[in-house]
Structure 1
Amino acid sequence: MFAPDVRLEGFTHDDWQRLLNLFRPVRPPVATQDQPRGRGLVLALHDGGKLRKLLHSHVGRLRLDDLERHWPLTAQQLAGRHDASWAISLERGALEDIMEGLGARTKRHDDLTQQMLTLLSLIQGQLVRGRIDLWPHRLEGLPMPNEAMIQSTLDTVCPAGKTMVLGLFDGDELWTSMALRRGDQGVDLILGPDQIRRELGLLSGDFRRDHRHLARFVADYAGPLSLGCFAEHQTFRALEVDPTPGAWALAVAVRDVVLHPVPAAMAVPLGLDVGRAALSALREVAARLDPAGVLTPTLSAIRDVTLGQREVREVLGFNPFEVLRKLLSRER
């Protein structure tokens, strides 16, 4: 996925902080909670059927006396007893076996993607054997990706020589952005918002217009765009954990999220009609061949296309937006 000589440009400390906060799990508002929510992680280390160590991320080491007579407990039971939102029950030696397996199976030419897939496979093996127990099971039932699936997805979303960009705005400010350029050996450029802000100058405060300047700069600096996603950062954050079916498609339909360009092959996974993807491509061609804007009224008249009704599961085997929601929404 990443080229050996990948470059990171245009990130400050605040930019990294904003990017990480964008994917931080969201706790439901207190008013919507049916019961008090657990906090933190509880970790239990056991060996030979005996509890050896018990830690909580908020309070540190816990006493073993209360649990020893009830052991063994599942990770879910551990979380319930210690008011935690996450729990891990770990058999001594399991992590060492994972790292030994990773060292034995990793080849010299393996890239980061191959190494991560190997690591996930080893962790899954320990979960199946019962040496590791995790709770909650937010990704239960999700098929394990393989290298061919990842490669074909990248070829669909961002072919070699193309760039994809995420741009999030806060009024008249570019709140954060990240552009990934894919070369022949993988992603060779990760471009942040710091340099882009200086080039954009003053913005109008309407991201539906301002995103064009961002897209144009990224295309000139990194290369032609294959996929662009633009929104207000609060809207994007809310959509990440919105359980409403079709929330993303509706946001695109009312232009709370702007996708431009969007590959035709990505229309179904994104929950959009193929006609919208084709129209996006047509607009891009028209902008180059028709600088006078003769075609603009015609394109504007047909821009409201219907949303697709096909299930994402039919394409990928799972819904990527549902996976994102489960990862970022706190159920406890």
Structure 2
Amino acid sequence: MLSSDVRFEGFTATDWVRVLSLFRPRRADAPEAGRPRGGVVAVHAGGRLRKLMHTDAGRLRIDDAQRAAPRTAEELAARHHASWAAVIEAGALEAIVERFGARIRRGDDFIAQSLLLLQLAREEVLAGKIDVWPARLRGVPMPSPGVVRGTLESLAGVGKTMVIGLFEGGELWTSVAMRRDARGINLILGPDEVRKDMGLLAGDWRRDYRHLSRAIEERAGELSLGCFAEAETIRKLEVDPSPGAWARAVAVRDVILAPVPAALAIPLGIDAGRAALSALRAIAERIDPMGIVGPAMRAMLERAGTDSEMAAMLPFHPLELLRKLISRER
């Protein structure tokens, strides 16, 4: 997935914090104040508690917890008012590492290694040696390396770039562009390098995203996928459990995909005709600065919008997987 000479460019400390904040677990409809925070990890052996640690408070007293040690991770989280918990049998992590070392091969890439490690960890969970709560990924099948590589290939071919750009208050809030070569992702480009190349902005992100696309293409190459929206819109969509939320957002242009590969158009409920119309409109907007053709193309796209279910392209629903990982719903 990542090439051996991958470069990270154009990120300030603020940009990194903003990117990471998008993946902070949160509830869709509950205030953050007063909620459980941090995680707690318990290690046991021979029926006795050996280690107890909270990610916020640090080490906890074992003597106090030994008298009525929780049996499950859910009980452990409730007792220490934590948002997640893990109960691990002593030696389970060492077993994962040893089996990983025995099964890994010299030619395995980052994807194969990551999936192998996840599979070994899941085996320990199924054996009852590791208990994690909440089990957000319960029931999600493990994809094969071929499926993951095929998905990446369909989203970004060799020499192509993917970008996500988020706006707030009429300005570029943050962006991440990833360029792929034959060995994997070889460039991860942040917003600090492209803000000055975007020129004078109109203050309307639905227009300004084109300036970001142009700046990215000049620095990283042709785009295969572009996703643009306001930061708050993406935060809400990440934890929205309603079916078709992403497809509706694309249909009403709360999220703009330009360009959009067929592999993403199909699961979002955008048929081939709509994807073609979207591409035509993008071309029309570039050659029609007066905006004569744009409104007609927009009307055609609104009539063509659909809200279908995720197509079974993968053994799991990728947008639902994102919601499970980030949402605090149990």
Q: Deviations over 1:245-293 (max 9, x none)?
A: 2221111121111111111232121233332212123335556888998
Q: Evaluate the alpha carbon distance shift between residue 307 and residue 172 of structure 1 in structure 2; reply closer, same or farther with a 3 A threshold.
A: closer
Task: Please give the TM-score of this superposition, normalised by the length of structure 2.
Answer: 0.91
Native 8 Å contact 1:274 1:308 kept in 2: no
Q: Residues 267-306 of structure 1: matches in 2 within 5 Å?
A: 267-284=265-282, 296=294, 299-306=297-304
Q: Residues 119-268 of structure 1: matches in 2 within 5 Å?
A: 119-268=117-266
Aligned to 2:16: 16
Q: Percent identity?
A: 56
Q: Which runs of 5+ in 2 are unaligned?
A: none
Native 8 Å contact 2:147 2:314 kept in 1: no
Q: Residues 50-89 of structure 1: matches in 2 within 5 Å?
A: 50-71=48-69, 73-89=71-87
Task: Please give the TM-score of this superposition, normalised by the length of structure 1.
Answer: 0.90
Distance 2:265 2:157 in 1: 16
Distance 1:9 1:98 in 2: 34
Distance 1:76 1:313 in 2: 34
Q: Residues 91-110 of structure 1: matches in 2 within 5 Å?
A: 91-110=89-108
Counterpart AA for 1:10: G
Aligned to 1:38: 36
How many residues are paired up? 330
Counterpart AA for 1:274: A
Native 8 Å contact 2:8 2:188 kept in 1: yes
Counterpart AA for 2:149: Q
Native 8 Å contact 1:79 1:85 kept in 2: yes
Distance 2:10 2:73 in 1: 42
Counterpart AA for 1:160: V
Q: CA RMSD in A?
A: 2.5
Q: Evaluate the alpha carbon distance shift between residue 236 and residue 72 of structure 1 in structure 2; reply closer, same or farther with a 3 A threshold.
A: closer
Aligned to 2:322: 324
The answer to which of 98-107 and 162-171 deviates more is 98-107
SS at match of 1:110: coil
Q: Deviations over 1:227-261 (max 9, x none)?
A: 11001111111111122222211111211111111
Question: Shift of residue 196 of structure 1?
Answer: 0.3
Q: Evaluate the alpha carbon distance shift between residue 53 and residue 32 of structure 1 in structure 2; reply closer, same or farther with a 3 A threshold.
A: closer
Native 8 Å contact 2:85 2:132 kept in 1: yes
Native 8 Å contact 2:202 2:208 kept in 1: yes
Native 8 Å contact 1:138 1:326 kept in 2: yes
Distance 2:74 2:117 in 1: 24
Question: Shift of residue 69 of structure 1?
Answer: 4.7
Distance 2:261 2:313 in 1: 15
Distance 1:186 1:79 in 2: 39
Distance 2:272 2:307 in 1: 11
